[in-house]
Amino acid sequence: MEWLETLFGFLDELLGSAVYFPFLLLAVGLFFTLYLGFPQIRFFRHAWDVLRGKETPGDAPGDTSHFQALSTALSGTVGTGNIGGVAFAIYLGGPAALFWMWMTAFLGMTTKYVEVTISHQYRTRDEQGRMAGGPMYYMERGLNMRWLAVFFALATVVSSFGSGNMPQSNNVAAGIEASFGVPPWITGAVLSVLLGAVIVGGIRRIAVVAASIVPVMGVLYAIGAVAVAMVNYDQLLPSFAAIFENAFNGSAAAGGFLGASFAYAFNRGVNRGLFSNEAGQGSAAIAHASARTEKSVSEGMVSILEPFIDTLVICTLTGLVILSSGVWTEKFENTFSPIETEFVSGSYSESNPGDVAALFAHLDLSPPQDDPVRPWTGTLQVRNGVALLEGVTVIHNRSIAEDVTFVVGSEAYSGDLEVAGGKLSTAGVELVGRSLLHSVPLTAEAFKRGLLGDWGQYVVTVGLALFAFSTAIAWSYYGDRAMTFLFGVQTVMPYRMVYVLGFFCATIIDTSLIWLISAVTLALMTLPNLIGLVLMRKEVRSLTRDYWDEVRARRD
């Protein structure tokens, strides 16, 4: 796993975690917001009319209704990003990260409108007579840039595993294991069988399942979140205030949270916002291409609602639950992830402002050149699971770990352990102790602080299972449309088989590595799509103008 961590960490630094990436994403959204005159505000009410079928004749070409297309797209976005992704962003960037998730969603409403409109305009039918669309089609047929279309389609196939498949099964397996004690491989096996049964039916079966799951899971999750907010109502306003106060100067240290710079909060907030609503990634445009309508702009209108529901509603609920409950600054007993664990030289304490400042800089996106926090190398003598850590501090999940014990299976370890460059190099030994949590476990702890008590975690577990499963089925469709574009419909079934296998395998892979993979694959789709959208800007504005001329003429 170590070489994979190094590889994807390097790629992430070049792509999603690079300084330019969040600025580019927001810049394109801001450009189109101004260029089209704030469509996310002006078109919002009309989008609901289109969704209800008021603007579309019943015999329009397509495979799904507007509602089914939106449900499929939402099922692809409403997933672990809304439960685990928000928690991961707050764990990394504090309250400020949620502000930048909001900004990504607000501007993303316009970006989503643009990418869906132009992709729908250039959709076509495959060899079996079903709709095939997405950014690769406007790139090839609108821009005459086959090479860019091929790159995007290949990135979509890879990203179907990195965004829609592996993070989903990994997180749901972890959640079910924590709540019910079910081994991850059993969860993976059961859900993989169900996944295969759904996706073999193609877009029509996927759309029907998505339209059934999305409303149910949204209502269930909202009820659980409100139950927590009612108990912690006195912390809701302070939580809102912290989000805005820290937006432009980073999040200060609090409890076990060592703080986050503006750059970290900005980068992770935008990055997780994109992972959640996928505005700019181009994925949802593939689902919307199946909608029955003669006017591509009308489906673009419907897509405006997607980031609003996904991020401004559901992600906000998650964020406020985590912040108002206070769990984001608390340490909980957990098994340490090797990727997130580091042994550093020196004894550090959260009660010492100087130590907090040094660790804050060490854990930032770009540690200082003269970083005084150094990885430790040496031999640990462990007796009955306890090591003498004098002059050594264990960092886990960006916090100072406490009550650390060393185990092999369920037994305390005794013997010598080798640590090299801050990493434990002796195989087979796990660390257990108290540290900050992130992703799904953090959200589950927050939901325990409500009216439902410990039962609140089951809302997260069930919601996660529904969210993750629906996301996986939507992304299987994105991947098979990309495979159809690249190699033809005969490759779809082999792709689906590999997709189901990947879904199962990801249940037993380290969570932190999964998030790295998802960040890299997400960026590989987003960059070519953003370039293509800017190049198609004039046609999008022309289509929008023509659409409104027709609407006004009908009304007159």
Is the C-alpha dihedral spanning 272, 276, 278, 283 positive or negative?
positive
Asked if 460 and 424 sit in the same domain, the reply is: no
Asked if 92 and 103 sit in the same domain, the reply is: yes
Asked if 298 and 354 sit in the same domain, the reply is: no
Q: Considering its fold, how many domains does the chain have in total?
A: 2
pLDDT of residue 405: 95
Copy the structure tokens of residue 156.
């979509």
Asked if 78 and 139 sit in the same domain, the reply is: yes
Q: Which of 435, 468, 497 is the last residue of a domain?
A: 435
pLDDT of residue 84: 78
Domain membership of residue 148 (yes or no) is: yes
Asked if 58 and 14 sit in the same domain, the reply is: yes
Full-model pTM: 0.84
pLDDT of residue 515: 65
Asked if 12 and 81 sit in the same domain, the reply is: yes
Domain membership of residue 369 (yes or no) is: yes
Domain membership of residue 147 (yes or no) is: yes
pLDDT of residue 514: 67
Asked if 188 and 319 sit in the same domain, the reply is: yes
Asked if 231 and 336 sit in the same domain, the reply is: no
Decide: 518 and 158 in contact? Cβ < 8 Å.
Answer: no
Q: What does each of the 556 residues of the chain score in pLDDT, given as a tens digit?
A: 667 777 877 888 888 777 788 888 889 999 999 999 999 999 999 999 999 877 666 667 777 888 888 888 887 777 667 787 888 889 888 898 899 989 989 999 999 999 999 999 999 988 878 888 999 999 999 999 999 999 999 999 988 888 788 878 887 787 788 778 889 899 989 999 999 998 888 777 888 887 788 788 888 888 989 999 999 999 999 999 999 988 888 888 888 888 888 877 887 788 777 767 778 889 889 989 888 888 899 999 999 999 999 888 888 999 999 999 999 999 999 999 888 999 999 999 999 999 999 999 998 878 888 899 999 999 999 999 999 888 999 999 999 999 999 999 889 999 999 999 999 988 889 999 999 998 888 998 999 999 989 888 888 888 878 878 888 888 898 999 999 999 998 999 999 999 999 999 888 776 566 667 777 878 889 999 999 999 999 999 999 999 999 988 877 6
pLDDT of residue 536: 96
Domain membership of residue 440 (yes or no) is: no
SS3 content of the chain, % helix, strand, coil (to 5): 65, 10, 25
Asked if 308 and 398 sit in the same domain, the reply is: no
Domain membership of residue 422 (yes or no) is: yes
Asked if 173 and 263 sit in the same domain, the reply is: yes
Domain membership of residue 306 (yes or no) is: yes
Q: Which of 392, 412, 435 is the last residue of a domain?
A: 435
CA 68 to chain CA centroid, nearest Å? 22
Distance CA 181, CA 449 (A): 21
Q: 62 lies in which domain range? A: 2-330+445-555
Asked if 287 and 345 sit in the same domain, the reply is: no
pLDDT of residue 311: 87
The long-range contacts involving 195-199, CB below 8 angstroms and separated by at least 24 positions, are 195/469, 195/472, 195/473, 195/476, 195/499, 195/500, 195/503, 196/496, 196/497, 196/500, 198/473, 199/473, 199/476, 199/477, 199/480, 199/496, 199/499, 199/500
Bridge partners for 555 per DSSP: none
Which of 316, 279, 285, 312 lies closest to 70 in space, CA to CA? 285
pLDDT of residue 212: 82
Instruction: Supply the CATH number for residue 96's domain.
Output: 1.20.1740.10
Q: Which of 370, 404, 435 is the last residue of a domain?
A: 435
Distance CA 174, CA 459 (A): 14
pLDDT of residue 215: 83
Asked if 154 and 291 sit in the same domain, the reply is: yes
Domain membership of residue 110 (yes or no) is: yes
